[in-house]
Amino acid sequence: MASTIQVRVDDDLKAKSEELFKELGTDTTTAIRMFLTQAIAVKGFPFEIKKVSANPYGALSEQEFLTKLEMSREHAVQGMYRDAEDVSRDMRAKYGL
């Protein structure tokens, strides 16, 4: 016997998740089954859930800003940098902006 689970989600969330699952070679129904199976296997959420304790984009003191700026300059000299458009795209995707 099989049961039905109905979930209401925002249209945008549904479309984005369907596209992601399609790219991963599956569909939403299968992804939900996988989630439930993993939750049972690990006896909890199959991923870390945490409350963000600090806004990483909050205001910095002048000294904090200067310290981060110096670290950024050192990274740039070492070739450790990313294109601003890539960073913006990643942030929009991560935070749903």
Model confidence over 47-89: pLDDT tens digits? Answer: 888 777 777 667 888 898 899 999 999 999 999 888 889 889 9
Domain locations along the chain? 1-49, 52-97
Nearest Cα to Cα of residue 62 among 74, 50, 70: 70
Write out the E strands in the chain.
Answer: none
Q: Is residue 11 over pLDDT 90?
A: yes
- CA 45/CA 38 separation, integer angstroms: 8
